[in-house]
Amino acid sequence: MTLVGLTLAEAVKARALELGFDRVAIGPAEPPEHGAELEKWLDAGYAGTMGYLDRGRGDRLDPARLLPGCRAVVAVALSYNVEKEAPAKEEGSDWQPVSRYARGRDYHDIMRPRLVELGEFIRAAAGAGVTSRAAVDSSAVLERDLAARAGLGWIGKNTNLLTPSLGSYFFIGVVLTTAALAFDHRQPDRCGTCTACLDACPTRAFVGPYVLDARRCISYLTIEHRGDIPGELCDGLGEWLFGCDVCQDVCPWNRKAEPAREPALRPAGSFGPLESLFELDRDAFRARFRGTALSRTKRAGLLRNAAIVLANRGEQRAVGALSRALGDEDAGVRHAAAWALAKLGAGDATAC
Catalytic residues: 137
Assign residue 127 a region (left: φ > 0; alpha: ψ between -120 and 50; beta: otherwise).
Answer: left
Torsion of CA 25, 31, 37, 38, to 10 degrees: 90
- CA-nearest of 117, 111, 119 to 179 is 119
Rg (CA), the chain: 21
CA distances from 48 to 36, 42, 44, 53, 167 (A): 18, 9, 9, 10, 27
Taking the C-alpha atoms of residue 114 and residue 135, their distance in angstroms, rounded to an integer, is: 11
Taking the C-alpha atoms of residue 235 and residue 309, their distance in angstroms, rounded to an integer, is: 9
- CA-nearest of 267, 260, 269, 271 to 306 is 271
Taking the C-alpha atoms of residue 250 and residue 127, their distance in angstroms, rounded to an integer, is: 46
SS3 79: strand
Taking the C-alpha atoms of residue 321 and residue 323, their distance in angstroms, rounded to an integer, is: 5
- Asked if residue 76 lies in contact with residue 21, where contact means CB atoms within 8 angstroms, the answer is yes
Taking the C-alpha atoms of residue 145 and residue 165, their distance in angstroms, rounded to an integer, is: 19
SS3 130: coil
Taking the C-alpha atoms of residue 180 and residue 317, their distance in angstroms, rounded to an integer, is: 62
Taking the C-alpha atoms of residue 59 and residue 203, their distance in angstroms, rounded to an integer, is: 31
